[in-house]
Chain A
Amino acid sequence: MKFFEWKGHRFIGFVVRLYLAYIFIYASIHKIIHPDSFAVDVATYQILPQSLVNIFAVTLPYVEIGAGLMLLVGFKIRQGALLVCLMMVMFLMALVIALAKGLNMSCGCFASQGVEEDPISFLTVLRDLAWLLLGVYVLIFDESFLSIDALLRRRR
């Protein structure tokens, strides 16, 4: 199929990869520095039982930064993209549930802002959906341009 073989994917995939890497690394920093605030954000969604909130708040930011770094340096790109996609699906589900419950709350996606600065809305869902699609794009089309994966492949 011509679309799958298009050479442009090589460059677009690279740009999208770096963009997603930036988003995920940036999103994880505040959560890593302030796990207590992020735990409150997680609890506010009222999805997880409270006994699991802290362990989730402690581990998720490291998966985010790990996946982000994998995409940034191009190491195991598809595995990193898969992690990004799975996290985006999880975030989308949480957002939809919170919106369905009518919770008037902050997204907690990047930093613990107040509901006035960062409220969840239909637009937040659209934004996350766009990032999920970009993750899927990298998963399918990335050709390891300027990446450790490409270097390792050449050495073999």
Chain B
Amino acid sequence: MSSEGLASRDAKKIVFEAFLFAVGFSALGVVVNLVRSDGIPLVPRAPIEIFVPCKEVSGEVKVLDPSDSLVFSEETFLIDAREKEAYEEWHISGAKNIPFDYLEGVDDAEVREIVRSSKKFVVVYGDGQDPDSGEQLAKELAGKGIRNVHFVKGGAKALRFRQ
């Protein structure tokens, strides 16, 4: 038999034996798991809960006074970052509701809509609390590459008071 033939036969033998060892070690793992008192069920009885924090996306934003004319400008894409219920109760006419969620980032479709609007400025107002959902959302939008993002200091409360 040629040396290539021998090498090929050796390689096949190595692969086959490695496979057998893998099966053997796996079987050992299953047996040990069955025997030990703190073994886990081989098939989970309930969905495994996982928590993966989102990567923090944050960019530079500017603060606006509630009385700033930019809030009501024709060139502004105005966003209400509060929950839907609060938005429905009161909002500035023309504001789009994009509720800020600490766990889930802004939907890409929303980002695309802002970009396609061709407005020069983006102004976000939130609940005005600490931390302010408006500021958080503004930073997230800026972090996603949107320019000229502002947030209203004091949020919806301050704007409502001014009106």
Contacts and interface: CB of A to CB of B under 8 A. Distances in A.
B14 A79 contact: yes
Interface centre among B25, B26, B30, B33 (most CB of A within 10 A): B25
Contact residues on A (Cβ < 8 Å of other chain), bracket = 35 or more
A66 B17 CA distance: 13
Contacts of B40: 35-36, 39, 54, 57-58
A58 B22 contact: no
A58 B42 contact: yes
Contact of B25 (A36, A63, A78): A63
Interface in A75-125: 76, 78-80, 82-83, 86, 102-105, 115
B57 to A, nearest CB: 10
Given A78-B14, A82-B18, A105-B52, A62 B28 contact: yes
22 contacts: A35-B33, A35-B39, A40-B48, A46-B50, A51-B44, A54-B42, A55-B42, A58-B30, A58-B39, A58-B42, A62-B25, A62-B26, A63-B22, A63-B25, A63-B26, A66-B24, A78-B14, A79-B14, A82-B15, A82-B18, A83-B21, A115-B53
Interface in B54-88: 54-55
B41 A40 contact: no
B17 A79 contact: yes
Nearest to B56: A104
A59 B31 CA distance: 10
B43 interface: yes
Contact of B44 (A50, A63, A66, A82): A50
B38 to A, nearest CB: 8
Contacts of B52: 44, 103-105
A35 B39 CA distance: 7
Nearest to B41: A54
Interface in A25-40: 35-36, 39-40
B47 interface: yes
A58 B38 CA distance: 12
A39 B18 contact: no
A61 interface: yes
A40 B32 CA distance: 19
A7 B13 CA distance: 26
Contacts of B43: 51, 54-55
A86 B32 CA distance: 23
B29 interface: yes
A59 B44 contact: no
A44 B28 CA distance: 25
Contacts of A82: 14-15, 18
Contact of A43 (B25, B26, B29, B50): B50
